[in-house]
Amino acid sequence: MELIGTERESTEAIDGVHLAMLASGEAMSVQRFAVEPGATVPAHSHPNEQAGYLVAGTLTFLLDDEERELGPGDSYVLAGGESHGVENRGKDIVRGIDVFSPPRENPDWAE
């Protein structure tokens, strides 16, 4: 077992969106995220299956043909290749955790 410290430095992938890799193995990775009020992650897709959990705040998921609003305690699963984006339309920072399989280190939209 590899022990990972609790202090992980986050990077601002795009304006108002902060990511921190918490752990990464051969089959999955775990990432912490924070989305500031007014910030948007543009529509994108990736081959990784993505499962997540919202700890704080309200996040609007922008899917192909619908919008879904999720709040603290909600979880989600996005299939690999599924187009999605998110917006923080609220007044609070959104905080959560994402798990990717296979592991993903740098999202395409962050480049």
**Predicted pLDDT of residue 109:** 54
At residue 4 the predicted structure's pLDDT band, cuts being 50, 70 and 90, is low
- Model pTM score: 0.89
Token pair in block for residue 41: 């992650």
Q: Which amino acid is at 53?
A: Y
Indicate the SS3 state at residue 55: strand
Residue where the block lists tokens 């705040």: 57
Percent of the chain with pLDDT over 70: 86
Specify burial of residue 15 (Cβ count, 10 A radius: 0-12, 13-18, 19+): exposed
pLDDT digits (tens, 9 = 90+) for 8-50: 678 899 999 999 999 999 999 999 999 999 999 999 999 999 9
